[in-house]
Amino acid sequence: MDASQVIIRPVVTEKSYALAAAGKYTFRVHPGAHKTQIRQAIEQLFPDVHVVEVRTLSVKSKPKRRGYTSGRTRAWKKAVVEVRPGDEIPIFAGLEAGGG
């Protein structure tokens, strides 16, 4: 699997921004990817970043309704990547300050 296939997109939530301030970045990843693949993909996509720890979890699907029609959301896999102190991932840079 290629690095761009392993890392799908960053997770954009208030909680992920709070973690990003502490050097922990949250990504949506391929459901079949394991921690070693995620670590290698992050270090390949962002060459000046060194990964300290990777934590993964599977996000379960939730039941949803729209009128009479009922269904479920997709289940997906999330990875929280902790980087070495002093390192930062540029796509999250400047977003922690927020404002609004």
> What is the tens place of the pLDDT at every residue in 30-87?
999 999 999 999 999 999 999 999 999 999 999 999 999 999 999 999 999 999 999 9
Give the three-class secondary structure for 37.
helix
pLDDT of 76: 97
**What domains are defined for the chain?**
3-86 (3.30.70.330)
pTM of the model: 0.85
Residue 3 has pLDDT above 50, yes or no: yes
User: Residues 6 or more apart from 64 whose CB is under 8 A from it?
Assistant: 70, 71, 72, 73
Residue 92 has pLDDT above 80, yes or no: no
The residues with which 47 forms a beta bridge, in sequence order, are none
Q: By C-alpha distance, which of 82, 33, 24 is closest to 57?
A: 33
pLDDT of 93: 64
pLDDT of 100: 45
